[in-house]
Amino acid sequence: MSLPYETLPGDVDRAISDDHAAIERLFQHLEANRGDRRTLADQLVFLLSMHTTAEELAVYPDLSEAAADGHGLTDRIRDEHQRIQEAMAAIDRNDPGSPDFEEALAHLIADMRRHVPGEEQESLPALRNAVGPRRMGELGDLFADAKRRAPTRPHPSATGRPPVTRAFGTPAAMVDKVRDKSTGRQKRLATDASGLLHPQAQQVLDAYASLNPKPIEILEPEQARKQPTPADAVSRVLSDSGRPADPEPVGSIEDITIPRPSGDISLRIYRPTPSVTSKALPILIYLHGGGFVIGDLDSYDATPRGLTNREQCIVVSVEYRHAPEHPFPAAHDDALEATRWVYDHASDIGGDAHRVAIAGESAGGNLAASTCLRLRDSGEPVPVFQLLVYPLVTGAVDNDSYADSADARPLSRAMLSWFAKHTFRTPDAAKDPRVNLLDVPVDRLGGLPPTLVITAERDPLRTQGQRYADRLMQAGVEVECRHYEGVPHEFFGMTPVLDAARDAQQHAANALHAAFTTSHATGGRAG
C-alpha cells in the first residue's frame, strides 16, 4: 500500500508512509519465521509505539479540524490505536512462540493491514487537501519532534480510549528508555534481525546496534553527525575479537586544501607504498557517502586505503560541502571543481592526467556519475572509468528495494527521506538531472566511460543502481553490475571483517587496472 500521490521528503504523509513500509516488512519477516523473532518484535514495538503517539500528537489535531467528520474520524483511528497498543503490550511481555505472543501478533498484523489503507488512501489525502502542502511539511517536523519524545513501549489506556497526552508531558518515555537500557533492549534496536544477512555482516550490524545509534530520521543534522557509524562497528568487531583495529596501512596520506570561489575544498591524498618505478601513477577520485548531509573523510577512510593498495594508484578523497548548511547543488559543484583540479594538477601530486578514474559510494555515487555527465557535456576530459558503489540515482520511492529494504540497517527508507528533506530546498531540485539520473534520456548517456556498478541485497538503493546499469547498457556504455547477496548498504568498506567486501574491492581494483592499462596503451584520456 502506498500514498496515491507524490509527496515531498519532509512531509508528514511521507514520514508516516515510510514508517508503514518498515512495519510491513517487519511483519513479513515475522510471518516467514525468519531471523531473530524477539529482536524483530522489539523493533516492531519500538517503531509502532513512537509512531502511534506521534500521530496522535502531531497529526490528529489538524485532522480532526480539517477533515469532514474529523472528530469522528480521529476517534475511530484512536480506537484502532488502542487495539494496536493492547496487542503490542501482549507482544512485549510474552515470549515468541507462546500462544499469547502469537495470538497478539496475528491480531496486530490484521489490525495494521486494515488501518494502513484507510490512513494512506483516505485520511492523509483528506488532510493534505484541507491544510495544503506547506502545512504538511510543518506537520512533518512536529511528527519527528513527537517521535523523539515518545515512549518506546506500548501504554494502552485502561479506559479503552488512549488520551492525546498519553506520552507527552508524562514520565512514560523516560521510564521506557531506562528500562530499555537496563534490559539491553536498546542495543538490539538498530541491528538487522531479518535473518537475510551473511553471518559476517550480521556480526557487524549487531556491533553497530550495540553502540546504540538513534534513528537518524528523528534527529537534527548536527545530532546525526555525532552518531556511531558502520566504521565504528567494524572497529568494535575487531576489538571484540582481539584483533587490532588500526586502519589499513598505506604508503602515505596528505591532507591539502584547494581554492574555490565559495571557499576551500579539503582533499585527502592516499598514495601506495613506493615502488621501484618512477612513473606517474594513475589517479582515482573518490567521493564518500552520507546522503549529502553526514559522512566525512574520516568515516569513509577505509575504502580509499583499500583501493590505493589493491590497485597501486593515488586516491584523492574529496570533502564536499554538506546540506542543509549548503544545500544542492553545493556538493555537486564541489565534486566537479575537485575533479577539474585533479586533471590540472595531476603531475603535481605524482599522478598521470591520462589515467584518471572516479568512484563514489551511495550519495557519492551520484556525485561521481553526475560529474562524468557534466564533464562530457562541456567537452572536458572525462574519467576513463567510473565505479559506482550502491549509487543514489533517483529520489523515487516506488521500486522493489524501497519496499523489501524499508527496514534495513544501517540505511532505511525513512533515512533516505530525511537526507532528501535536508538536501533539497525545493521539489524541483530533487528532480534536477544532476540528481535524478534515471530520468536522463538514454541517448544522453552514450559516450560515458566503462562503468562498474556494485549493489547490495539489504539496501533500499539496490533497485535504482541496477536500473541505472541497465540504462547505461542500453546507451551502449560498457557496464558491469555486480550484486552481493547477504550484505547491507555500507558493506564495501568493511574489508577487515567481511569477505564480500574484500571480494568487491578486489573486483573493483581489477576493473580499474584494466581501464588504466587500456588508457595508458592508447596514450589518451576519455572524452
Of the residues 11, 180, 352, 459, which is catalytic?
459
Q: By the 8 A CB rule, do 341 and 335 touch?
A: no
The Cα 192–Cα 410 span in angstroms is 8
Of the residues 11, 407, 489, 519, which is catalytic?
489
> How many Å is the Cα radius of gyration of the chain?
24
**450 upstream amide cis, omega within 30 of 0:** no
Cell of 366: 551520484
Whether residue 489 lies in the annotated active site: yes
DSSP codes, 150-185: S-SS----TTSS--TTSSTTSTHHHHHHHHHHHHTG
Helix/strand/coil for 6: coil
Angle at Cα 14 formed by Cα 10 and Cα 19, nearest 5°? 115
Of the residues 49, 362, 412, 417, which is catalytic?
362
Q: By the 8 A CB rule, do 465 and 390 touch?
A: yes
The Cα 433–Cα 373 span in angstroms is 10
Q: Which of 113, 120, 49, 115 is nearest to 80 (CA)?
A: 115
φ/ψ (deg, to 5) at 225: -70, -15
The residue type found at 280 is A
Cell of 434: 544532476
The residue type found at 153 is R
Q: Collect all residues with Cβ–Cβ distance below 8 Å to 110 and sequence separation of at least 6.
A: none
Active site residues: 362, 459, 489
